[in-house]
Amino acid sequence: MNAAMTALPLLSVEGLGVEFRTRLGVARVLDEVGFTLARGETLAVVGESGCGKSVTALAIMRLIPQPPGRIASGRLMFDGRDLLALPESEMRRVRGNRIAMIFQEPMTSLNPAFTVGDQIAESLRLHEYPHQFSGGMRQRVMIALALACQPDLLIADEPTTALDVTVQAQIFDLIAELREASATQKGTAVMLITHDMGAVAEMADRVVVMYAGRVVETGSAVEILESPQHPYTRGLIACAPGRRTAVPGQPLEEIPGTVPSLLERGAGCMFAERCASAMPRCSSALPPPTLLGPSRSVQCWLHVEGGTA
Distance CA 176, CA 156 (A): 12
3-state secondary structure (DSSP) of residue 12:
strand
Q: What is the distance in angstroms between the CA of the first residue and the CA of the last residue of the chain? A: 50
Minimum CB–partner distance for residue 302 and ligand SF4 (Å)? 5
Binding flag, residue 51, ligand SF4 (CB under 6 A)? no
Binding flag, residue 301, ligand SF4 (CB under 6 A)? yes
Distance CA 12, CA 7 (A): 12
With 0-12 / 13-18 / 19 or more C-beta atoms within 10 angstroms meaning exposed / middle / buried, residue 102 is: buried
Contact 28, 265 (CB under 8 A): yes
Span from 85-93, 169-177, 248-256, 294-302 in contact with ligand SF4 (CB under 6 A): 294-302
> Which residues are bridge partners to 20 per DSSP?
27, 69
| Residue 141 or 298 having the CB closest to ligand SF4 | 298
Minimum CB–partner distance for residue 20 and ligand SF4 (Å)? 24
Binding flag, residue 48, ligand SF4 (CB under 6 A)? no
Span from 30-38, 39-47, 160-168, 271-279 in contact with ligand SF4 (CB under 6 A): 271-279
User: Angle at CA 135, nearest 5°, toward 132 and 136?
Assistant: 110
Binding flag, residue 47, ligand SF4 (CB under 6 A)? no
Torsion of CA 247, 251, 255, 257, to 10 degrees: -140
Out of 278, 292, 295, 296, name the contact with ligand SF4 by CB under 6 A. Answer: 278
Out of 116, 192, 237, 269, name the contact with ligand SF4 by CB under 6 A. Answer: 269
Binding flag, residue 287, ligand SF4 (CB under 6 A)? yes
| Residue 189 or 262 having the CB closest to ligand SF4 | 262
Binding mask 221-240 for ligand SF4 (x = CB under 6 A): ---------xx---------
Minimum CB–partner distance for residue 275 and ligand SF4 (Å)? 3
| Residue 133 or 301 having the CB closest to ligand SF4 | 301
Minimum CB–partner distance for residue 25 and ligand SF4 (Å)? 24
HSE on the CB side for 130, CA within 13 Å?
Answer: 20
Which phi and psi (to 5°) does residue 256 adopt? Answer: -65, 150
Distance CA 34, CA 117 (A): 39
Out of 52, 76, 275, 290, name the contact with ligand SF4 by CB under 6 A. Answer: 275
Out of 119, 282, 289, 297, name the contact with ligand SF4 by CB under 6 A. Answer: 282
Q: Is the dihedral of CA 79, 84, 87, 89 positive or negative?
A: positive
Residues at the interface with ligand SF4 (CB under 6 A): 230-231, 269, 271-272, 275, 277-279, 282, 287, 300-302
